[in-house]
């Protein structure tokens, strides 16, 4: 927490048109992580792409996948997040609490399964869905950090010839892509900011977030 920071100049990405406010700049980094995951998955316009988890990172991946022309399936247990995913261009939504995920995905993909699965939750059930439901020769990109060990059917890796790829952080180009989306008004930026708080409120805010993380996109501490 300092008024000035010394950083390498080549690491600084600016908005020369000054179209993004400092408040909205806080969204660029998390959104760029989703953008990077789509690059890692080598998504094309002929792919069915399952976004498992429509939180902050998943929404970035979803918007980028939609922009490539892919047929995007949004999966979450929160209907509000699924409604937002639909507005951002998801062709299909699946609620894991109320629908049979396997049956839904088979129907949507003509019994093939999604070509790409972006795992953006980090819990055993979504990792298992990603591996079990991916199409033959599909690509599974893992973003979520699981806090426990996860048992997976390793035969799927071999029999379905899956590519399992990790994705973390983002490149400079991914940051620029996220910034351009924000300038075009593609992201519903105000909906992605769950609240702006003062430093003295941080402890309470973080405790509330920890108790109910599924309802939070991005929290901002304003100095």
* DSSP character string of 75-132: EES-HHHHHHHHHTT-SEEEETTTS-HHHHHHHHTTTS--SEEEE-S-SHHHHHHHHH
Question: Model confidence over 170-192: pLDDT tens digits?
Answer: 999 999 999 998 898 878 888 89
151: helix, strand or coil = coil
pLDDT at 31: 92
pLDDT at 139: 98
What domains sit in the chain, N to C, each tagged with a CATH number?
28-166 (3.40.50.720)
State yes or no: pLDDT of 157 exceeds 90. no
pLDDT at 158: 92
Q: If you average pLDDT over residues 118-134, what whole number do you get?
A: 96
Question: Model confidence over 31-65: pLDDT tens digits?
Answer: 999 999 999 999 999 999 999 999 999 999 999 99
Proportion of the chain above pLDDT 70, given as a percent = 100
For residue 117, which of 162, 156, 155, 175 has the smallest C-alpha distance?
162
pLDDT at 146: 87
For residue 117, which of 43, 176, 67, 57 has the smallest C-alpha distance?
43
């Amino acid at each position: 927490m300092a008024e000035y920071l010394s950083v390498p100049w080549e690491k600084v990405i600016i908005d020369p048109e000054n179209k993004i406010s400092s408040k909205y700049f806080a969204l660029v980094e998390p959104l760029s992580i989703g953008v990077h995951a789509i690059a890692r998955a080598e998504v094309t316009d002929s792919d069915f792409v399952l976004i498992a988890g429509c939180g902050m990172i998943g929404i970035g991946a979803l918007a980028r996948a939609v922009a490539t022309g892919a047929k995007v399936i949004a999966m979450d247990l929160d209907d509000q997040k699924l409604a937002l995913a639909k507005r951002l261009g998801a062709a299909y939504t699946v609620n894991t609490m109320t629908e049979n995920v396997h049956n839904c995905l088979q129907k949507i993909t003509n019994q093939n399964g999604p070509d790409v699965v972006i795992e953006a939750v980090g819990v055993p059930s979504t990792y298992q869905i990603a591996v079990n439901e991916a199409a033959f020769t599909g690509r599974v990109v893992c973003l979520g950090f699981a806090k426990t060990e996860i048992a997976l059917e390793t035969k799927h890796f071999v029999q379905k010839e899956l590519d399992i790829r990790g994705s973390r952080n983002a490149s400079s180009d991914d940051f620029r892509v996220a910034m351009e989306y924000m300038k075009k008004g593609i992201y519903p930026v105000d909906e992605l900011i769950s609240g702006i708080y003062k430093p003295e409120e941080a402890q309470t805010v973080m405790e509330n977030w920890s108790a109910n993380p599924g309802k939070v996109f991005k929290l901002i501490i304003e100095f």
